[in-house]
């Protein structure tokens, strides 16, 4: 069945209050729910309570048990005809957390019991109108074995606890803020707490707790710091204060995605909580900080103001990603954070927007909402908010955000509500801008600069086109704000950046006063999520890579230099590598630049990104070209790489931005040094691997070795495995590093790793570490034999029986067949067809695979 945005109807029944009583047990949990229901408007429709796999053991209305004639079941839902306008409805069900392999609803992870309800998991716990526009006050009571589950947590504030019979105990929690059921959470288990506190701007003290198993307590400090920093940041930047007396976070090992913003009780994938230098890379540390912030920020953008229906998902996710991005930028380097965010956007979202699964940030229809927790909704959604913030400027954007939060506090709102608040609070007309919510596809902007030496005028002509996407053959022009500067070659500088507003299909802008033709620096800071097509010479790009004062534009010029050479090589054209090498040398030796920035700028673009620049992707040619250029850069600048690698050797571990930057640069230098083929390269990498006092250097040395064929390769992988075999998060890195390796045998190795005793389909992190990473390794996944496609399809089919949501996330790489040669395309399609032929295939995978074939 297809759900459409246009079909929205207000709920027939509201549930102002809900009491839940859990008798917890891994094999059999009894859930007794008492709903106060109220008819919403004048209608005669029955009460419909969603359920998924539930059997009603008892149904009572106003205290009276109904006979089986008093209710009926309709595709999992419980239907109860009611006569009055307000009733008390009780149900009792029995669920089995231990056998819940979908990790939606109430499930067991390790010895814990925990929940995940977004988007539609609550209906696997109890009968309820499982839609985000039904907001209720929750009162939760839990009873459980005290030895197995000494800690009992839920949303809101604890209001009571006590001992029961037979070694059991109970706890009660009450959440005063009405919330949709997707924000319900419960955790029971043997947990230790990193306890701290935060005093809010109005002077209230909030008790903070990060709950993990005892052994992991020492790894929670970074998450706690991130939480307190986030709370202070939201007060300072958005004026938003925390609203309950307690804020708890729990880390669990088995989790379908990153984390969940349940009111007052965030539940996290442990990879986004646990960090220490021995086991976490700098990227992991940043991931912890960013996700802790993201979930905390949802307390306002998501919980206090929630979504009316799931088509509005970007209302909370796009905005919250935008907020966490800015927070992380404030905690570290704005330039580097922007580069990282754009890299993610281009790698994931641009690919999605160019393929069969393209959809607007506010989709029009879906079969399975879980499939729409996408890079488009999240990351492109954040870019749309970022453009509004740019057009409005900080004060007016804040006024718009204030109006949005104040006007919709306690409500289930829409994207349209947000845009209207920005229009009114920010005094701007966003009529045409709304197309960003409607149209899918990445706009392409062709930029042509013409110069008249007589008048000194430079004319910039911009033409935009939004490519057709599924269901949207024709597109209207978008509002595209482009931060632009023109560099005068005579002075080597520009006379001020301008914000050009491209709103028509084609538009020209004229600039005066250039004796010589200027150089174009456009979409600075990546002000719009578009693809710029401009013919800039390698010399111009080299100039900008050395002189542009916008760090993103400078990075971009450097990357474009490399892309041009690599794309030219693949196309069999003569290329000039020396300009690239000179630019790398200049950037790498510029003492004025932040090492973290240098590391970003001088790194070669990913193979997949290069593929995206070509109509037809030739994975082997791309790999060969990139490998050759990497080697050439390694050889030509070998002394520089040796020097950087030696110079960035730290004396003791620190997590400061400077120390992180040094490690990032050190690792790029190591990659080039080993790529040079220098005889001692693998030994230097092995020494770094062996002696490192932190995971960033250890893992990156391992990755470098894993992509080569030295004797050190096997030794390092072996040592790593044995050293960390009882740490699941680090073992994930062992799988991931091999799946991402540039090695001719990666596909066979991944097949073997799939049978390794430490591999399991029941842990989503492990599955992503092996198969998710492998499918992102363009050269290996697109092995001409088609083996890579078969491996991933086999995994999807096996995993679908356990965990359809995570299985469906592996499908999109197979859907990119249009971009590959006929032989590969046929094999990719055949795998999608094989998947679709599997009996009992989930809705999740069916939707992804069938759309991918269209």
From ligand ARG, Zn ion, none, which one binds at residue 259 (CB under 5 to 8 Å depending on kind)? ligand ARG
Q: Quote the longest CA-to-CA distance of the chain.
A: 95
**118 contacts which partner out of ligand ARG, Zn ion, none, CB within 5 to 8 A by kind?**
ligand ARG
Instruction: State the minimum distance, in angstroms, from the CB of residue 116 to ligand ARG.
Output: 7
Tell me which residues in 443-502 interact with ligand ARG (CB under 6 A).
none
Pick 109 or 370: Cβ nearer ligand ARG? 370
Nearest distance in Å: CB 266, ligand ARG? 9
Stretch that binds ligand ARG, among 167-175, 259-267, 604-612, 845-853 (CB under 6 A): 259-267
Residue 306 CB, shortest distance to Zn ion, in Å, is: 12
**All residues at 6 or more sequence positions from 477 whose CB lies less than 8 Å from its CB, including other chains:** 432, 435, 464, 466, 503, 504, 505
Q: Write the DSSP string, 750-805.
A: HHHHTTSTT--TT-HHHHIIIIIHHHH-HHHHT-TTSHHHHHHHHHHHHHHTT-HH
CB distance 416 to 314 below 8 Å: no
Residue ranges in 364-423 that form contacts with ligand ARG under rule CB under 6 A? 370, 373
Q: In angstroms, how far is CA 80 from the centroid of its own chain?
A: 40
Q: C-alpha distances in angstroms, 68 versus 65, 73, 348, 482, 733?
A: 9, 10, 50, 64, 53
Alpha-carbon dihedral sign for residues 227, 600, 528, 352:
negative
Taking CB under 6 A as the binding criterion, the range among 255-263, 473-481, 716-724, 810-818 that sits at the site for ligand ARG is 255-263
Nearest CB to Zn ion, comparing residues 294 and 768: 294
Q: Is 294 in the site for ligand ARG (CB under 6 A)?
A: yes
DSSP 68: G
119 binds, among ligand ARG, Zn ion, none (CB under 5 to 8 A by kind): ligand ARG
- Is 317 near ligand ARG (CB under 6 A)? yes
The whole-angstrom separation of Cα 231 and Cα 586 is 41
Which residue stretch of 228-236, 320-328, 557-565, 574-582 sits at the interface with Zn ion (rule: CB under 5 A)? 320-328
| 363 vs 376: CA distance, rounded Å | 10
For 534, the enclosing helix (H) or strand (E) is strand 531-534
231: nearest Cα among 221, 218, 244: 244
Which single residue brings its beta carbon nearest to ligand ARG?
373
Q: Residue 179 CB, nearest distance to Zn ion (Å)?
A: 15
Q: Which of 198, 255, 257, 771 forms a contact with ligand ARG (CB under 6 A)?
A: 257
Minimum separation from the CB atom of position 320 to Zn ion (A): 5
| 261 scored as a contact of ligand ARG (CB under 6 A) | yes
Q: Which is nearer to ligand ARG, 119 or 531 (CB)?
A: 119
- Least distance in angstroms from the C-beta of 81 to ligand ARG: 32
Q: DSSP alpha helices (H): ranges in 548-594?
A: 551-570, 577-588
Q: Which does 373 bind (CB under 5 to 8 A by kind): ligand ARG, Zn ion, none?
A: ligand ARG
H or E segment to which residue 86 belongs = strand 86-95
Provide, rounded to whole angstroms, the least separation between the CB of residue 42 and ligand ARG.
35
**Tokens encoding 302:** 């998501």
Contact yes or no for 44/82 (Cβ under 8 A) = no
Q: Is 295 a catalytic residue?
A: yes
Strand 168-179 to strand 136-145: parallel, antiparallel, or no bridges (unpaired)?
antiparallel
Are 468 and 482 a contacting pair, CB within 8 Å? no
Active-site choice (261, 289, 295, 636): 295
The residue (of 259 and 566) whose beta carbon lies closer to ligand ARG is 259
**Residues 119, 226, 415, 749: which binds ligand ARG (CB under 6 A)?**
119
- 607 touches ligand ARG by CB under 6 A: no
Q: How far is the CB of 370 from ligand ARG (least distance, A)?
A: 4
We find the least distance from the C-beta atom of residue 314 to ligand ARG, in angstroms, to be 11
Q: Return the axis-axis angle of helices 551-570 and 619-636, rounded to nearest 10°.
A: 120
What's the CA gap between 763 and 761, in Å, rounded? 6
DSSP 708: S
Kindly tell me the burial class for residue 202, based on how many C-beta atoms sit within 10 Å of its own C-beta (0-12, 13-18, 19 or more).
exposed
Give the whole-angstrom CA distance, residue 723 versus residue 346. 35
Residue 844 makes contact with ligand ARG by CB under 6 A: no
Write out the residues near Zn ion by the rule CB under 5 A.
317, 320
Query: Catalytic amino acids?
Result: 295
Would you tell me which residues interact with ligand ARG (CB under 6 A)?
Answer: 118-119, 257, 259-261, 294-295, 317, 370, 373
């Amino acid at each position: 069945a297809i759900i459409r945005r246009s079909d929205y109807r207000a709920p027939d029944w509201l549930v102002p209050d809900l009491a839940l009583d859990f008798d917890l047990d891994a094999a059999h949990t009894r859930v007794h729910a008492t709903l106060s229901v109220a008819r919403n408007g004048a209608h005669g429709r029955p009460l419909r309570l969603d359920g998924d796999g539930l059997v009603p053991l008892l149904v009572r209305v106003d205290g009276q048990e109904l006979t089986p004639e008093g209710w009926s079941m309709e595709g999992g839902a419980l239907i109860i005809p009611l006569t009055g306008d307000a009733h008390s409805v009780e149900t009792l069900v029995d669920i089995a957390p231990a056998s819940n392999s979908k990790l939606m609803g109430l499930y067991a992870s390790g010895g814990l019991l925990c929940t995940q309800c977004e988007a539609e998991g609550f209906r696997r716990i109890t009968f309820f109108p499982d839609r985000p526009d039904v907001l209720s006050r929750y009162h939760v009571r839990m009873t459980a074995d005290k030895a197995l589950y000494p800690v009992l947590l839920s949303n809101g504030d604890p209001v009571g606890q006590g001992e029961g019979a037979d070694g059991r105990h109970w706890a009660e929690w009450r959440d005063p803020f009405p919330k949709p059921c997707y924000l319900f959470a419960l955790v029971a288990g043997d947990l230790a707490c990193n306890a701290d506190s935060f005093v809010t701007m109005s002077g209230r003290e909030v008790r903070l707790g990060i709950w993990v198993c005892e052994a992991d307590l020492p790894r929670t400090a970074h998450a706690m710091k991130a939480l307190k920093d986030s709370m202070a940041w939201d007060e300072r930047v958005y004026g938003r204060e925390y609203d309950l007396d307690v804020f708890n976070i729990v880390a669990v090992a088995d989790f379908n995605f990153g984390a969940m913003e349940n009111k007052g009780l965030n539940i996290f994938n442990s990879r986004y909580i646990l960090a220490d230098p021995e086991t976490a890379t700098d990227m992991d540390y940043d991931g912890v900080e960013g996700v802790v912030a993201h979930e905390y920020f949802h307390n306002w953008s998501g919980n206090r103001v929630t979504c009316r229906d799931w088509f509005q998902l970007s209302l909370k996710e796009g905005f919250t990603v935008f907020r966490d991005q800015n927070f992380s930028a404030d905690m570290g380097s704005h330039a580097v954070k922007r580069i990282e965010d754009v890299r993610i956007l281009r790698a994931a979202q641009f690919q999605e927007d160019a393929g069969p699964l393209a959809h607007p940030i506010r989709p029009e229809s879906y079969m399975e909402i879980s499939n729409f927790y996408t890079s488009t909704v999240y990351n492109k959604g954040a870019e749309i908010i970022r453009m509004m913030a740019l057009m409005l400027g900080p004060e007016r954007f804040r006024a718009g955000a204030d109006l949005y939060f104040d006007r919709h506090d306690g409500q289930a709102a829409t994207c349209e509500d947000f845009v209207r608040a920005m229009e009114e609070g920010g005094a701007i007309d966003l009529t045409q801008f709304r197309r960003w919510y409607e149209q899918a596809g990445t706009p392409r902007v062709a930029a042509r600069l013409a110069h008249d030496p007589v008048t000194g005028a430079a004319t910039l002509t911009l033409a935009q086109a939004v490519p057709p996407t599924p269901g949207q053959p024709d597109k209207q022009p978008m509002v595209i704000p482009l931060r632009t500067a023109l560099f005068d070659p005579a002075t080597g500088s520009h006379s001020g950046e301008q914000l050009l507003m491209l709103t028509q299909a084609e538009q020209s802008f004229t600039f005066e006063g250039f004796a010589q033709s200027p150089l174009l620096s456009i979409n600075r800071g990546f002000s719009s999520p578009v693809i710029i097509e401009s013919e800039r010479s390698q010399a111009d790009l080299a100039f900008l890579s050395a002189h542009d004062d916008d760090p993103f534009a400078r990075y971009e010029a450097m990357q474009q230099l490399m892309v041009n050479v690599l794309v030219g090589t693949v196309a069999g054209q003569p290329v000039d590598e020396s300009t690239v090498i000179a630019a790398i040398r200049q950037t790498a030796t510029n003492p004025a630049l932040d090492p973290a920035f240098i590391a970003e700028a001088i790194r070669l673009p990913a193979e997949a990104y290069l593929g995206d620049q070509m109509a037809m992707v030739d994975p082997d040619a791309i790999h060969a070209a990139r490998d050759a250029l990497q080697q050439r850069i390694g050889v030509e600048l070998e002394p520089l790489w040796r020097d950087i690698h030696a110079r960035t050797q730290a004396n003791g571990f620190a997590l400061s931005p400077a120390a992180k930057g040094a490690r990032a640069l050190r690792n790029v230098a190591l990659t080039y040094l080993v790529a040079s083929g220098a005889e001692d390269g693998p030994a230097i990498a092995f020494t770094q691997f062996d002696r490192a006092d932190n995971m960033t250097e250890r893992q990156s040395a391992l990755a470098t070795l894993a992509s080569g064929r030295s004797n050190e390769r096997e030794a390092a992988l072996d040592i790593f495995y044995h050293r960390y075999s009882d740490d699941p998060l680090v073992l994930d890195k062992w799988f991931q590093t091999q799946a991402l390796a540039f090695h001719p045998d990666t596909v066979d190795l991944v097949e073997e790793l799939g049978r390794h005793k430490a591999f399991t389909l029941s842990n989503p992190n492990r599955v992503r570490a092996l198969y998710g990473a492998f499918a992102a390794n363009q050269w290996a996944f697109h092995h001409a034999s088609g083996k890579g496609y078969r491996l991933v399809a086999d995994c999807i089919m096996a995993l679908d029986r356990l965990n359809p949501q995570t299985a469906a996330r592996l499908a999109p790489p197979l859907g990119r067949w249009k971009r590959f040669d006929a032989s590969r395309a046929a094999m990719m399609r055949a795998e999608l067809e094989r998947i679709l032929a599997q009996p009992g295939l989930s809705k999740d995978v069916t939707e992804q695979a069938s759309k991918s074939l269209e």
